Structure 1
Amino acid sequence: MVVLVTGANGQLGQSLQFIAPTYPNIQFVFCDSNKLDITNLNNIEQLFKQFKPDFCINAAAYTAVDKAESEPEKAHLINVVGAKNLAEVCKEFDSILLHISTDFVFDGTKDSPYSEEDIPNPTSVYGQTKLDGEKAIQETWDKHFIIRTSWVYSQFGNNFMKTMLRLASERDTLSVVNDQIGTPTNAVDLAEVLAKIITTCNLQPTTYNLFGIYNFSNEGQCSWYHFAKKIFEFNKININLEPIPTTSFPTPAKRPAYSVLDKSKIKKVFGVEVKYWDEVLNIK
C-alpha cells in the first residue's frame, strides 16, 4: 500500500514521518515542495507514474493567514489550483485523496461546535481559498476525504506553541488574545487519524459511502490565552501572561471568534478515540 504525502517538511508532514515506522504495511513516499510542486500538474503526474500511490495525503498548503491578505493570488494557487491538480491526477490514477482543510472556512458566529453540515462563510482570504480548494476537489474526484482541523501544533515546524516558548525565552511579559475560542490539535494525533482512515479503507475496499468531509481536532475548547497558559504550566515556565481582547491585537486577517469542531462523525464512522487537548501537550 503506497501513500504519497505532499508538504513533507510541514508540521503534519513531519508528524506523518514520525509515526511512519509504526505502520510497516504502508509505504510512505514523502515529497517536499522541491520534489513535488502541487501547482505543477506535470510534476504531479510524473511522480504518480513513478510511485503509483493508492492514497495521496495533501499536507501542502499556504497557511500564512495574515500574509494571504496581501498575497491572495499565491494563496489561491497553492490552496485551490494545487488541490484541484491533485484531485485530477488522483482521478487519473484511481488514488484516494486525503486533503487537509481548516476551521477558518467558518465565520465563528456560532456558539456551539461546527458540524460538517454547517454552511461555511470564511472571513479571510486564507479561509476562502481553503473552502475553494474543498469545492475544487468535490467537483473533480469522488474518492476523497476532506479533513477540517484547527489550531494545529507539534514539535515540528512553525506553530503557536513553539512561538510561545520562543517569546517566553525573550520576554518577561506576554499578552495573548482571550476572546477567540477553538481547540488545539496535536499534529501527531491528526497524523494517526489519517493513517486510521487509510487502514480502514484498505480493509474495506468498498468505501464510497465513507467519502466526504470530516472534522478532527482534539477534544475540549479554550482561548489562545488559556492554550498559552497550559503550555507554560507544562514546561514549568514562569511568565507574566496577560489576557487581551482581539481588538487590542489587530491583524490583517479576521479570525473566527468561535471555531470549535464537532467530531461526532469521524468518531462514529472510523471509531476514532479523541484525546482532550490539554492531555496531549507532552511535547517540547
Structure 2
Amino acid sequence: MVVLVTGAGGQLGQSLQFIAPNYPDIQFVFCDSSTLDITNLNNVKQLFKQIKPNFCINAAAYTAVDKAESEPEKAYLINVVGAKNLATVCKEFDTILLHISTDFVFDGTKKTPYTEEDIPNPEGVYGQTKLDGEQAIQEIWHKHFIIRTSWVYSQFGNNFMKTMLRLAAERDKISVVNDQIGTPTNAVDLAEVLVKICTSIFHLPSSNLFGIYNFSNEGQCSWYFFAKKIFEFNNIKINLEPIPTTSFPTPAKRPGYSVLDKSKIKNTFGPEISGGVKYWETSLNEIEKE
C-alpha cells in the first residue's frame, strides 16, 4: 500500500512521520511544499504518475486563521485550488483522498456538539476556504474522506500548546480566553485514525463509507482550561488569568462553541477507531512524557 502525505512539514505531517515506523507494510511518501506544490496541477500529476498512490492524505493547508483575513488569495490557493487539484488527480489515478478540514466551517452558535449533518456557516476567510475546499472535493471525486477536526496541537510545528510553553518562559502572567469551548486534538491521535482508515478501506473491495466525518479527542474545555492543564502537566507555576473573547480581539472571529460529535466515525469504523479516541486530558498528559 502506497500512501502519499502532502504537507509533510506541518504538525500533522510530522505526526504521520512520527508513527510511520509502526506501519512497516505501508510505503509512505512524504512531501512538503518544496517537493510537491499542490497548487500546481501538473506538479501533482507528475508525482502521481511516478508513485501511483493508493491513498493521498492531504495534510497541506493554509491555517493562519487571522492572517487569512488579509491574505484571502493565498488561503484560497492552498485550501481550495490545492484541494481541487488533488481531487482531480486522485480521480484520474483512482486514489482515495483523505482531506483534513476544520471546526471553523461552523459559526459556533450551537450549544450541542456539531454533527456531519449540521449546516456549515463559516465566519472568516479561513473557514470559508476550508468549506470551499470540501465542496470542490465532493463535486470532483466520490472516493474521499473529509475529516473535520478541532484545536490541533502536538510536539511538532506551531500550535497553542507550544505557544503557551514559550510564553510561560517569557512572562509571569498570561491571559487566555475562557468563553470559547471546543476539544483539543493531539495530532498524533489524528494521524493514527487517518492511517487506520486507510488500512480498513484497503481491505474492502468496494466501499460505501466515503464522506464527511468528525474526529477530535473526547471531552471539551475552554482555551483557558486547556492552558491550565498544559502548565499543570509541565509543573509550571504561572499567573493564568481567564478573560472574555471581547478582551482579546482578533482579525478573525472564532466559533464560540465548536465541539464535534464523533458518533459517525466511531459507529462506522468500530473498535479500531473508537477504542483509540482518548480524552483530551489523557492525550495531553501522555504527550508531555514522550
> Shared fold (TM-score greater than 0.5)?
yes
Counterpart CA distance in 1 for 2:265 and 2:2 is 23
> Which position in structure 2 is the counterpart of 1:22?
22
In structure 2, the partner of 1:2 is 2
Q: Determine if the alignment matches structure 1 residue 275 to structure 2 residue 278.
A: yes
**Equivalent residue number for residue 34 of structure 2:** 34
Distance 1:258 1:205 in 2: 39
Structure 2 SS opposite 1:237: coil
How far 1:283 sits from its partner (Å)? 2.1
User: TM-score normalized by structure 2?
Assistant: 0.97
Q: CA RMSD in A?
A: 0.5
| Structure 1 residue 93: Cα displacement | 0.3
Show structure 1 runs of 4+ deviating over 4 A. none
Match of 1:245 in 2: 244
Three-state SS of the structure 2 residue aligned to 1:3 is: strand
Taking only the aligned residue pairs, the percentage that are identical comes to 84
The number of equivalent residue pairs is: 283
- The code of the aligned residue for 1:237 comes to I
**1: CA distance, partners of 2:216 / 2:239:** 29
Provide the rounded CA distance (Å) in 1 between the counterparts of 2:14 and 2:198.
18
SS of aligned partner of 1:169? helix
Matches for 1:163-174 after TM superposition, within 5 Å: 163-174=163-174
Matching of residue 83 in structure 1 with residue 86 in structure 2: no
Q: Distance in 2 between matches of 1:84 and 1:260?
A: 27
Which residue is 1:147 aligned to?
147
1:189 is displaced (CA, Å) by 0.2
Q: For residue 203 of structure 1, report the CA deviation from its aligned partner.
A: 1.4
SS at structure 1 position matched to 2:33? coil
Query: Is 1:13 aligned to residue 13 of structure 2?
Result: yes
Cα distance in structure 2, aligned partners of 1:180 and 1:67:
20
1:228 aligns with 2:227: yes
Q: How does 1:86-165 map to 2 (within 5 A)?
A: 86-165=86-165
Q: TM-score, normalised by structure 1?
A: 0.99
Q: Could you say which residue in structure 2 is the equivalent of 1:70?
A: 70
**Aligned to 1:280, what secondary structure does the other structure show?**
helix
Q: Distance in 2 between matches of 1:75 and 1:31?
A: 19
Deviation at 1:277? 0.3
* In structure 2, distance between residues paired with 1:58 and 1:29: 12
Residue 145 (structure 1) shift: 0.2
Give unmatched runs, 5+ long, in structure 1: none
Question: For the residues of structure 1 that align with 2:35 and 2:278, how far apart are their CA atoms?
Answer: 34
Deviations 1:169-217 (A, max 9, x none): 000000000000000000000000001100000111211x100000000
CA distance in 2 between partners of 1:202 and 1:25 (Å): 12
